[in-house]
Amino acid sequence: MEQQGVHPVLAHVLYRRGYTTAGEALGFLARHYQEDDNPFRLKGMAEAIYRLRMAIRRGEPIAVYGDFDADGVSSTVLLTGVLERLGANVRPYIPDRVDEGYGLNSPALRRLADEGVRLLITVDCGIRSVQEVADGVSYGLDIIISDHHSVGPELPPALAVINPRQADCPYPEKGLAGVGVTYKIVQALFMEAQRRGYRKGDAWRPEDWLDMVAIGTVADIVPLRGENRVLVREGLKRLNRPERPGLRALYGVAGIRPGNVNTVAIGFMIGPRINAAGRLRSAMLAYRLLTTTDAGEAARLAAELDAINQERQQKTTEMQGWAEEQIPGDPAEEPLLFAADPRFEQGVVGLVASRLTERYYRPSVVVQMGEEESHGSCRSIPEFHITRALEQCADLLERYGGHAAAAGFTVRNENLLPLQERLREIAAEALTLEELRPALEIDARLSFEEITFELLEALQRLEPTGEGNPPPLFVTPGVVVQERRTVGSEGAHLKLVLSQGPIQMEAIAFRRGDLHDTLPDHVDVAYYLEINEWNGQQRLQLNIQDIRPPEAE
């Protein structure tokens, strides 16, 4: 592929990832999406657009009902903004995580109906809210469900259900985020407005909202392949030229420079601050930040979100300690980790479960215990589909939903211990403990001589990287540790200078400061290649993902 201008290391990476012909590899690098992306291929779309168009024409009150995470907030901003552009009488509604819980809830639907709402459309939620939708219909609401989570055994009795995961939905891209499904609705609204010559439809294009699509897609950790990758690529262009005052203010508190926004910035700086609002306060704070046109209000809201995010970080660390106290004996002997405590905060249990799974490589369930009901969040490993496990416990749960790797549920307290026992039994039957070890997928073996700025520039063609399309991971065996020191708060990170022959490379191993005194002088390293910019100078740096004695098993 060198004849086509593809660096040989990049060609090797693409081959390892399944792009085995030049045509496949070049198509991926060109970021072409080959499938038919007509939004009307989504089951339920035609019925939804007809009802939305009717509501706009009649001036009927519409509610956009979103979730309280970054995917749900960005979806709510997107659809509410477009409906406003089309002249709709529309309002956002995002439930309170603690008082109302995830997804649709019947009291909220009744309130909205009593306040005059006639059409309600969900974004990023509702696919398993069978009873709640039935209640809403009885209150006089027409309900459209748009979601991307796993479909349950029974669909809600809604006017239309839009979810590419429906078994009989012909839409080819099944891995859209909630905001991706919402974007397809926006595309369909635009197509219909253009077809009918609707005047207000001429002043905007769906692409105007791709900044929201990129944020929600990356923050929800869906695979960045196919259509998702194209949407995020185009969204990043807009994020790097931010027009929203709220985004500019958010960049300021997060230390992000326009022009340097990538998927890492979304995943570790933008997304967490948006998520923090719904975790500890109200997701409507984030909604207001992303929709305000006032720079002063944007600055105030961004500062508030940043403070909430710092509080979230502190609570997560504290709650992780409490959860680890509940692990009996050696975590390596447990098929599933389960912690329940009234001290846990509902908005943080998912983060604690993520940390437990990352540290111990086990499915983890963390539950905030209430007076009568408890709310749990689950994170899992590739070997164990956590939502299918919850399906086997449906008789014990009030509600549940999620994906293969993450899920949430509500359970009555009298069923909490039986749930714990059953989940552990399911995990014990499905998992072989001695084989449960995390593995890194190495893309190529490199010598330090091959690491150049030219190579790094060639690897940029893989962007945007993320879930399903990770940055390339390289290994270099038998390097010498020339220098070592700890950096960061309380020496949390390990800074190294490594050599192979005459060539030296700087390296950073985040959260591995504990290795400072025990690391041998000769090691094998697995790493991402990146640029370290300091005082205006750029140097190549290895971002260490694993480090071990040479020739270790």
323 touches 341 (CB < 8 A): yes
Residue range(s) defining the domain that contains residue 171: 39-207
Per-residue pLDDT tens for 403-443?
A: 889 999 999 999 999 999 999 999 999 998 777 888 899 99
Flag the least confident range among 51-55, 56-60, 465-469. 465-469
Note whether residue 145 is domain-resident: yes
pLDDT value at position 248? Answer: 98
Class of residue 84 by CB neighbours under 10 A (exposed 0-12, middle 13-18, buried 19+): middle
State yes or no: pLDDT of 122 exceeds 90. Answer: yes
State yes or no: pLDDT of 29 exceeds 80. Answer: yes
**390 and 495 share one domain:** no
Which CATH number covers residue 530? 2.40.50.460
pLDDT value at position 278? Answer: 94
Note whether residue 28 is domain-resident: no
Which CATH number covers residue 53? 3.90.1640.30
- For all residues of the chain together, what is the average pLDDT? 93
**131 and 68 share one domain:** yes
**370 and 508 share one domain:** no
Q: Between 5 and 176, where is the model more confident?
A: 176
pLDDT value at position 147? Answer: 98
**202 and 92 share one domain:** yes
What CA–CA distance (Å, rounded) separates 216 from 179? Answer: 6
pLDDT value at position 490? Answer: 82
Per-residue pLDDT tens for 353-402?
A: 999 999 999 999 999 999 999 999 999 999 999 999 999 999 999 989 88
Per-residue pLDDT tens for 442-460?
A: 999 999 999 999 999 999 9
399 touches 103 (CB < 8 A): yes
469 touches 462 (CB < 8 A): yes
pLDDT value at position 553? Answer: 43
Note whether residue 111 is domain-resident: yes
pLDDT value at position 402? Answer: 85
pLDDT value at position 32? Answer: 67
State yes or no: pLDDT of 317 exceeds 70. Answer: yes
Q: What is the rounded average pLDDT of the residues 177-189?
A: 98
pLDDT value at position 342? Answer: 96
Note whether residue 272 is domain-resident: no
Report which DSSP code applies to 83. H
Q: What is the rounded average pLDDT of the residues 102-108?
A: 92
pLDDT value at position 528? Answer: 97
Q: Of 207, 242, 258, which residue sits at a domain end?
A: 207
Distance of alpha carbon 122 from its chain centroid, rounded? 18
Q: What is the rounded average pLDDT of the residues 233-243?
A: 97
**368 and 467 share one domain:** no
- pLDDT tier, 491 (very low <50, low <70, confident <90, very high otherwise): confident
pLDDT value at position 2? Answer: 61
pLDDT value at position 332? Answer: 84
Per-residue pLDDT tens for 123-161?
A: 999 999 999 999 999 999 999 999 999 898 999 999 999
- pLDDT tier, 202 (very low <50, low <70, confident <90, very high otherwise): low
State whether residue 328 is helix, strand or coil.
Answer: coil
**187 and 50 share one domain:** yes
Helices (H), 268-373: 271-280, 284-291, 295-325, 349-360
Q: Which two tokens stand for residue 332?
A: 């390596």
> How many domains does the chain divide into?
3
Q: Which two tokens stand for residue 442?
A: 């190495």
Q: Of 412, 435, 458, which residue sits at a domain end?
A: 435
Note whether residue 73 is domain-resident: yes
What CA–CA distance (Å, rounded) separates 314 from 319? Answer: 9
Note whether residue 142 is domain-resident: yes
pLDDT value at position 1? Answer: 63
State yes or no: pLDDT of 34 exceeds 70. Answer: no
What CA–CA distance (Å, rounded) separates 201 from 52? Answer: 14
What CA–CA distance (Å, rounded) separates 505 from 513? Answer: 18
Q: Which residues contact 30 (CB under 8 A, 6 or more apart)?
A: none
**431 and 478 share one domain:** no
Determine how many CB atoms are found less than 10 A away from the CB of residue 463: 17
